[in-house]
Amino acid sequence: MTERIKLTAEEFGLMGLFQNISGATARDCVIDSKAERVIFVINKGEMGLAIGKSGETIKKVQKVVGKQIELVEWSDDPKQFVMNSLSPQLVSEIRMLERPDGAIIFTVVVDEKKKGAILGKGGRNADKARLLARRHFSVESIRIVTAQ
């Protein structure tokens, strides 16, 4: 089941700061203390605005916030959103299974040589995809497998 998204005052503040600096609209903000990062979900088509020329905008936000900033582009399509949460260029295939109770299970197929990049150090990229997919859609699980 989709979690009801509740933002803290700190997350609201970070969203405002991000929007003021970048001009891009943040739809969601997650402070991930475990991975020492802040994840922003931004409106579709605003990634270039959020990153800025040569990455200047995102660097400025990181400097002000004092943590690594990660961006995910929004999509109304859960399959595309999961791809956006990972590295779309590294995904070979993504399969979606919707159970009768409405829960969604994704299987992400990647090249064996690219699995480490998809998972990220300590699984941080996979954790980000799972967290965001659960927050915004009825995604129960995301499995990352290698192509057979």
Could you give the CA distance from residue 95 to residue 110 in angstroms, rounded to a whole number? 12
In the chain, the domains with their CATH numbers are 9-73 (3.30.300.20), 78-146 (3.30.300.20)
Could you give the CA distance from residue 10 to residue 12 in angstroms, rounded to a whole number? 5
So what's the pLDDT on residue 5? 78
Any idea what DSSP says for residue 122?
G
So what's the pLDDT on residue 1? 42
Give the residue carrying structure tokens 């933002």.
7
The pTM assigned to this predicted structure is: 0.90
So what's the pLDDT on residue 67? 95
Could you give the CA distance from residue 48 to residue 46 in angstroms, rounded to a whole number? 6
Degrees to nearest 5, angle at CA 133 with 130 and 135 = 105
Classify the phi-psi angles of 31: left when phi > 0, otherwise alpha if psi is within -120 to 50, otherwise beta.
beta
pLDDT in tens, 47-99: 999 999 999 999 999 999 999 999 999 999 999 999 999 988 888 899 999 88
**Six token digits for residue 31:** 């402070």
So what's the pLDDT on residue 37? 95
φ, ψ for residue 8 (rounded to 5)? -80, 170
Q: Are 46 and 71 in contact (CB under 8 A)?
A: no
Any idea what DSSP says for residue 24?
P
So what's the pLDDT on residue 102? 81
Residue 10 has pLDDT above 80, yes or no: yes
Q: Are 72 and 58 in contact (CB under 8 A)?
A: no
Q: How confident is the model at residue 3 (pLDDT cuts 50, 70, 90)?
A: low
pLDDT in tens, 22-38: 999 999 999 998 889 99
Mean pLDDT of 88-115: 90
Percent above pLDDT 70 for the chain:
97
